[in-house]
A and B are shown apart, each in its own frame.
Chain A
Amino acid sequence: MGKKKHPLTRSEVERDVDTEIEFHFERSINELIADGMSAADARRTAEERFGNVGRYSQKLKQTADVGRKQRAALVILESVFTDARQALRGLAREKLTAVTIIVTLALGIGANTTMFGIVDRLLLRPPPGITEPGAVKRLYVQRAFLDRTITSASVTYPDLLDFKAAGNFRDVAGYWNSSLPYRSDAAPRSIDVVAVTSRFFAVMGARPFIGRLFSTEADTDETVAVLDHGFWEREFGGDERVLGRSIHLGQKSYTIVGVASPGFRGVELRRTDVWLPALPAGDDIMNTPVWRTSRGFYWLRMVARLSPGVGSDVAAAEATTLHRLGRAEDTRYDPEATILVEHMLAARGPNGSAVARVSQWVLGVSIAVLLVACANVANLLLARMIRRRRELAVRLALGVSRSRLISFLTMESMALAATGGLVGLGFAFLFSERIAQVVLPSLVGTTIDQRAIWFAITVSLFAGIFAGLVPTIQGSNPNLMASVKSGTGDAATGDSRIRSALGVVQVCLSVLLLFGAGLFLKSLNQVNSIELGIDSENIMVASYDRSGFDFEDSQWDQFNNRAIETVAALPSVTSAVGVLGYPFGPSYGKGIEIPGLDSIPRGQDGGPYVSWVGPHYFKTVGTEIILGRDFDETDTAGQPLVVVVGEHMAQMLWPNESALGKCIGFSDEDGACMQVVGIARDTKRQNLTQANPSLLYYVPASQHDDPPHTVMARFAGDPTAATVAIRRAMSEVGPNQAAVNVRYMKDIISPQAQSWTLGATMLTAYGILALIVAAIGLYSLIAYSVDQRRKELGIRTALGATTPKLVWLVLRESLKIVLTGTVVGGGIAMLASPAMRDLLYQVSPRDPMVLATVAGILLSISFGAAVLPARKAAGVDPNEALRLEQ
């Protein structure tokens, strides 16, 4: 009995049914005729017995076709499983290759997923809990300040009220992230509060988790509070009975009326604990109710929800008109200011941070890393393919269709990519939090969520296809047969060309990444070597959180004086001094007059700026006195008034003579002469990278009525230990239950270097990653090629080629790839790098030193990758080599 495979097409199915019925009738009629019937009678009888032939045959055909489809699906599924199983089995046999490929892909995919998670949070995704986020906008004021135009996110409260008249805003609101001392059963501490005007939640379209949100038309003094969902869970264990209870923040007690929906943080990515109404909370935060009416208190950030169908430009024009109208009477500040209506995410607004832009670069870079990884995997797969050429050719010869072979080969690269993706996701989980901390220190929670996981899956899929493309096309090439017949020969040259090209691509991308990393490293190095003028390594800055206390200034002075003494007495502290106005902290401009000068010059950043300081200030903060002396205990109220000026100020005021002994007077103190007793090295005022020195001078606090608010302490040893010791000491002598803020000077400054730190760290990490991957790729390329050329090398040896000559032969191959890649990569880098000019610091985007270093690194890699294969080449035994493949 012969076999026939199952019908594959519908027409085959139908033919089978027809044949079966025909056969039936033939036998049936024949038998009836044999029984003595006439042919016609026999046919009629047979038809009667069968029933309606048309109907039955149709029914049979339908049933059979359904069966065929089911079988076909099963066959495909089965072949997929077979392929996958074979792929895995094949890979298990070559563990080293498989592991290399998986790790390579995992690094690439992990790097991408991590950066995607961060960029997604920073720039792409609207913050949670906002309905119709497209209509929510952030407003900015563009106004003249000194001789510049600044774009500020802050307005005054009266300005905000002006915008309420805007028809193009459905709602407008102000908010301010701050902190207030929180008094619960535990020790008092500062928690993160946001003061919001009444329409804030309406602008956001936010819904409460329980209770209600603030939603009155106008602001009221009602002391109510809405809790953040996380805070509610942490502090109140998610107890719904919390509604109606009160919470003590600062000076006031607020009634809890609701809990915000989980994750809701408004438009800021910062952590929030409690939402408070602006009127009662603002008084505490600003320490004065003046902000309610003054057009000088710029503090509120603005958000607005556009009316349906209104564009940002139209809304901005209307808001600008209202703003100028509102400020018609008060012309102290720029009355010609313009209002901008921008994206609600700060990172995408006009003041978008350098960190956000660097993050985008790093995401781009991580994609480049993935490309390097893919090129490498393609190379490894191709090498494997060539090793398996015979097996594949046999398959093709045995009649395995090309599409089947492609499916098999694709399955292989997909299996690898899937595994790589899984491991990569693991990497992302491990590292993303640490990296996210650098980019978004205030971010809460992980950045690897569902979206990031989908991203990882998509990337893995593409990586699988991309890496498998070239090997698959090559491997399923019908010309394989020819190559098998002719030994390893000719098809190999085509392959090696492709493999070399992939190698060049890898080198080229590595050059780009390393060049970028070099630029950022050099920038960071420049930033780190900026002369701050103070010894930030050894200074702590500490103060009491005054908000919410009702003490007289004189009482605060007593607290502060006690704090300075106590801190100075700590074993880990060498000296402590009270200050009002300090570097990277608040600074104060104050009117001065100088005998013999008609006008006081201003610095690029305004000023001159004064600091009121205690004795031995300069020694404590580590600012060098160039000429004259530091303040000491003798500079008290009864003694002659003295002043120390910064070197730039001294230069500006008295260009051609010594400043020592000259007079400076405060305008509001009748210009009483303060004699210059010292000239101090300039310090940065607020900006790490400020280009021009500020005009700075210092007076002893004890000779004036402006008492210090802050303690600066010089410490030795561990900063964390010092922080704890200072906080405890100040708590003991301060007001009962006051929160003490202690900050390490370095931590105050370092966020300013964040974008360079991020760029340098990430680009270097990814650059090295790409380099390692490329080096592995190069090595496998050369090693493989040496293996392929054993015969040729053997002949050369037999003909008397010397070892150096053989080594050079191999080395030349490696060098060719690296040089081509470096030249192309370097060229692209030169063309592209000016785009990141303003992310760098005092480094040319075409810095030749960086380029030279990168080229050097790659050249040494090219040697390194070729060393082992070259030694192998030199050691080829001609006899053995010639016996091969005969």
Chain B
Amino acid sequence: MSKKILATTSLAGCFGCHMSFLDIDERILELIELVEFNKSPIDDIKTFTKECDIGLIEGGCCNSENIEVLKEFRKHCKILVSVGECAIMGGLPALRNGISIKECLEEAYLNGPTVGENTEKIMPNDPELPMLLDKVYPCHEIVKIDYFLPGCAPRADLIWNALVALVTGNELELPYEVVKFD
């Protein structure tokens, strides 16, 4: 059986889900027997070089680049999985959704207590920068998402079990310990 090809990314997340992924510890050696990594921070491949079987998405979409990356993932991956609270619900970044983007930017760059000298009242406006969205969107509002792995972050065992199930085609094991959140 040829190896399944896996891609991962962190959009508007904290990389905590990727850290949790690494918590599979020595099983990463088993994992590389099962899958080949493509675009992912794990192997630092920046752009898709192959069509992939599975894409893991951490984080929701807070800017235009997130949207582009997510659409790229949808284009190149057969199965997309939202991993963790931010991808599924927007998570912590979505706390800004009740506040206007103007107020957020002014707090961050003009009025906040940690703002230093900004006499010219400049806010980041370089055309190279991604554009902020009016709110943080969960991934499934932008593209079709096939599976959701809840948690903040989802436990390593949950990510592991899910990946093994997807790769082997066996049913996912979901013992209580793996999906309880307290």
A, B from the same assembly: no
B positions within 8 Å CB-CB of A? none
